Amino acid sequence: MATESKGKIGVLIEEHFDGTEFRRFNEYFPEQGYEVEYISHLWGNKELHFGSNPENDQVEYHVTVSTEVKDIEPSDYKGIICIGAYAMDRLRYQVNVKKGEKNQAPAVVFLRKAANTDNVKLGTICHSLWLFCADPDLIKGKKVTCAHNIICDVENAGADVIYEGDVTTDLVIDGNLITGKHPGMVDQFMETFVKEIEKN
């Protein structure tokens, strides 16, 4: 007998996503009663197909996405996660730019709405704070953690990266934002994300 869903967790995704996170999201969140819905900017297509970061010259994971980020509301979800690796850098791309204008990439516009939506948790892991860096107002003054590769980007955007000795800490919660360091602690990240959702 099917159990009733507790709601949806939306995962922003693009080409070159982290395979470990993808696999574990698809296993863990449904086990906890949550649907996982992958979201992207589809550039006018009905659907797009993305592959994970290659490992040993092999792309192990693929996903077909049919949910356009411009067509949804953050309130349709219990939480929104930005998947790690290089996918979030791709999602902040704009065709046209104007000096002095905030980033208008559809995923960044959506993230602004999500950050201002009550009872929606936001999660990032590894490199995925890159999407937040596209609009420093999203993370200015926020306590976060991230992969060592992007510390400079995150600190330049005004966030407060938390350290433990000479490494960034594994996990940080600051209000509705849950940040994880890298895929090696994805299980801790997911468990914490669900606990934070279920506090509401």
Q: Please state which of the ranges 45-49, 55-59, 128-132, 148-152 shows the lowest mean pLDDT.
A: 55-59
Q: Half-sphere exposure of residue 118, counting CA atoms within 13 Å on the CB side?
A: 1
Residue entry with tokens 């509301």: 73
Q: Half-sphere exposure of residue 22, counting CA atoms within 13 Å on the CB side?
A: 23
> Which has more pLDDT, 61 or 200?
61
pLDDT at 1: 44
The torsion region of residue 15 among left (phi > 0), alpha (psi -120 to 50) and beta comes to: beta
Q: How far apart are CA 161 and CA 144, in angstroms?
A: 5
Q: How far apart are CA 148 and CA 160, in angstroms?
A: 14
| Mean pLDDT, all residues of the chain | 96
pLDDT at 200: 66
Length of the chain: 200
Alpha helices in 70-164 (DSSP H): 87-91, 106-115, 130-133, 151-156
pLDDT exceeds 70 at position 3: no
The residue-averaged pLDDT of 154-179 equals: 98
Query: Which of 175, 47, 177 is CA-nearest to residue 123?
Result: 177
pLDDT at 4: 82
Q: How confident is the model at residue 5 (pLDDT cuts 50, 70, 90)?
A: very high
The residue-averaged pLDDT of 154-178 equals: 98
pLDDT tens figures, 20-44: 999 999 999 999 999 999 999 999 9
Residue entry with tokens 């279920």: 198
Q: How far apart are CA 35 and CA 25, in angstroms?
A: 10
